[in-house]
């Protein structure tokens, strides 16, 4: 009775209705840090300009034990929320809010240490933390 187009339409509407109580949010800060870009840096030879060409300008510069330390940051966070009260909007004049939500965030940090003559010495990149996931269960 209802064709393929109709079935797809019904499924689409049902999916939209079921998702309406959901909320998916993501915040991304800066570009991902790529360990491959460090391979071009040679200790004692690569200059500040070489580092900037490979990695861009750092987010922070600090005084290290034997020279400067450049710090780069990349952040990624995901938040999901489900409003179980949304379904009651169909039955009640006022939809109560019954939310369950969870957010996960990861910060990736790269340190680049320089020698006193402002050439590249070494870098430290943290092992990538678990990629954040979308999930609503907070317990």
Partner 1 sequence: MFWKSQAGFSHQWRNPRGLLLLASLLVLMTLANGCAFVRGEVGEPFPEDRLQTIEKGITNRQEVAQQFGAPDDIVQANGHEIFHYRRFDSKLGWLLFFSRLNIGSDHLWVFFNPQGIVDDVVFGNRTKNVDFQIWPFGE
Q: Which of residues 89-128 bind partner 1 (CB under 8 A)?
A: 114, 116, 118
Q: Kindly compute the dihedral angle of the four CA atoms of residues 47, 50, 56, 59, in this order, to the nearest 10 degrees.
A: -10
Q: Find the shortest distance in angstroms from Cβ 134 to partner 1.
A: 7
Count residues near partner 1 (CB under 8 A). Answer: 41
| Alpha-carbon dihedral sign for residues 109, 111, 112, 117 | positive
Residue indicated by tokens 């966070």: 77
Give yes or no for a contact between 82 and 99, defined as CB atoms under 8 angstroms apart.
Answer: yes
Nearer to partner 1, 57 or 127 (CB): 57
Position 129 contacts partner 1 (CB under 8 A): no
Q: Are 45 and 119 in contact (CB under 8 A)?
A: yes
Contact code string over 13-32 relative to partner 1, x by CB under 8 A = x--xx-xx-xxxxxxxxxx-
Q: Pairing relation of β-strands 60-63 and 22-29? A: unpaired
Residues in 46-65 at the binding interface with partner 1, rule: CB under 8 A:
48-49, 52, 56-59, 61-64
Tokens matching residue 10: 């019904």
Q: Which residues contact partner 1 by CB under 8 A?
A: 1-3, 5-6, 9-10, 12-13, 16-17, 19-20, 22-31, 48-49, 52, 56-59, 61-64, 67-68, 78, 114, 116, 118, 134
């Amino acid at each position: 009775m209802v064709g393929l187009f109709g079935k797809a339409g019904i499924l689409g509407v049902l999916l939209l209705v079921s998702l309406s109580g959901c909320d998916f949010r993501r915040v991304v800060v800066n570009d991902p840090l790529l360990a491959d870009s460090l391979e071009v840096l040679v200790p004692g030879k690569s200059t500040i300009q070489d580092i900037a060409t490979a990695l861009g300008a750092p987010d922070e510069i600090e005084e290290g034990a034997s020279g400067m330390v450049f710090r780069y940051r990349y952040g990624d966070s995901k938040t999901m929320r489900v409003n179980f009260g949304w379904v009651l909007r169909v039955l009640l004049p006022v939809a109560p809010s019954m939310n369950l939500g969870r957010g996960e965030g990861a910060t990736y940090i790269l340190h680049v240490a320089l020698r006193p003559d402002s050439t590249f010495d070494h870098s430290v990149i943290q092992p990538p933390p678990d990629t954040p996931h979308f999930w609503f269960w907070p317990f």
